[in-house]
């Protein structure tokens, strides 16, 4: 299984909190040869509450959970980290792990783009947008979300457990 791992750190931009301690992790082409195994792999490693579909085309984040996105089909450009963040070109077989608080939105995608998303221990994600009213509460909540016990791709080992240390 050949793949590359990339990490990105994003600062709070005043509207999207992002995560000051944990990087976004991209596993490039980890499921290139078996994209149909993405959801079952996430679920086996306790990243559950999974769904399949697209990614919202507006900036949003979750203040109560981390999220993993696996590209099951097609390709897309996902803007991560707010308007001045990083444009990630993702394609079938790629996986992105978004730490709690990290803004993300779809910029464009192929017609056949399909992602699989999941959350540690099936946490039901909230949906936050740029909102000054909920900001203080969101920042406090983000700080209290624990690091997952497992990597969504590798389980008891893997890049997430190496790179996500508080």
- Structure token digits, residue 56: 């919202």
The answer as to whether 42 is a domain residue is yes
The answer as to whether 55 is a domain residue is yes
Going from the C-alpha of 123 to that of each of 32, 69, 106, 145, 152, the distances in angstroms are 27, 15, 22, 11, 14
In terms of residue numbers, what domain contains 117?
Answer: 4-155
CATH label of the domain that carries residue 46? 2.60.120.10
The answer as to whether 161 is a domain residue is no
The answer as to whether 160 is a domain residue is no
Q: pLDDT (tens digit, 9 = 90+) per residue, 86-125? A: 999 999 999 999 999 999 999 999 999 999 999 999 999 9
The answer as to whether 66 is a domain residue is yes
The answer as to whether 69 is a domain residue is yes
Number of domains the chain contains: 1
Tokens 């008891």 correspond to 156
- Report the run of H or E that residue 109 belongs to, with start and end: strand 104-109
Q: pLDDT (tens digit, 9 = 90+) per residue, 56-97? A: 999 999 999 999 999 999 999 999 999 999 999 999 999 999
Q: Are strands 86-91 and 95-98 parallel, antiparallel or unpaired?
A: unpaired
């Amino acid at each position: 299984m050949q793949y590359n791992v990339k990490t990105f750190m994003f600062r709070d931009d005043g509207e999207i909190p992002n995560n000051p301690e944990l990087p976004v992790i991209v596993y490039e082409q980890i499921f290139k040869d078996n994209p149909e195994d993405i959801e079952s792999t996430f679920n086996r490693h306790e990243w559950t509450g999974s769904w399949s579909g697209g990614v919202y085309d507006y900036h949003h984040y979750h203040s109560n959970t981390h999220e993993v996105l696996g590209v099951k089909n097609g390709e897309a450009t996902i803007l991560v980290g707010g308007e001045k963040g990083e444009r990630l070109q993702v394609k079938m077989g790629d996986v992105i792990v978004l730490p709690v608080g990290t803004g993300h939105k779809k910029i464009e995608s192929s017609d056949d783009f399909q992602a699989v998303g999941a959350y540690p221990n099936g946490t039901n994600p909230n949906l936050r947008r740029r909102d000054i009213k909920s900001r203080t509460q969101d920042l406090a909540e983000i700080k209290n979300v624990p690091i997952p016990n497992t990597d969504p791709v590798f389980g008891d080992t893997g890049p997430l457990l190496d790179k996500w240390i508080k």
